[in-house]
Amino acid sequence: MGTFLQGYGEAEERRNRVIKWIIIGCIAMVVVVIAAYLIFHNYSEKQKVRHFLGELNSHDYSAAYRTWGCSTDHPCTNYDYHRFMDDWGPKVSAPWKIASIDGCKSFVTVNVQADGAELQSLAVQRNDDSLSFAPAPECQERQWHWKQFFQHIFHRGS
């Protein structure tokens, strides 16, 4: 008679443990997917700007002009090589760096700056990774500002 009730409830306890681990696993997977989305959402556009700034910082202006989408043989209609050199040429000796990134639906705004130069806002189109000047330093669409949200939460005391 003692062996009849000895295993009572073990199956239910094991099932509850399995359900708990499935729920924890699903929550962890959702957190990882959201974090990966936030980290890699603008990755290719950021790499395009890093490549462009690398060419500028190494003083390879003709390659940077090609990365912009133009060439000395076929200059852009409203942005010829001379004007490009006025904006990005050797007058700035400090290296260009990415200051901030803001993603819109159709393009990513990347603000770049060098010591002694004013902030330049670049737009990288999402559909073809083409570079141009951004209409504003920040996206003008309604969106959730994740970075400001977390800075507000975690930097209250400082």
Q: What is the pLDDT along the chain (158 residues), one digit of tens a residue?
A: 557 667 777 888 999 999 999 999 999 999 999 888 878 888 999 999 999 999 999 999 999 999 998 887 888 888 889 999 988 888 877 899 999 888 888 899 999 998 878 889 999 998 888 899 998 888 776 666 666 677 677 765 44
pTM score over 0.75: no
Buried b (16+ CB within 10 A) or exposed e, 79-95: bebeebeeebeeebeee
Q: How many CA atoms lie within 13 A of 155 on its CB side?
A: 6
Indicate the CATH number for domain 43-149: 3.10.450
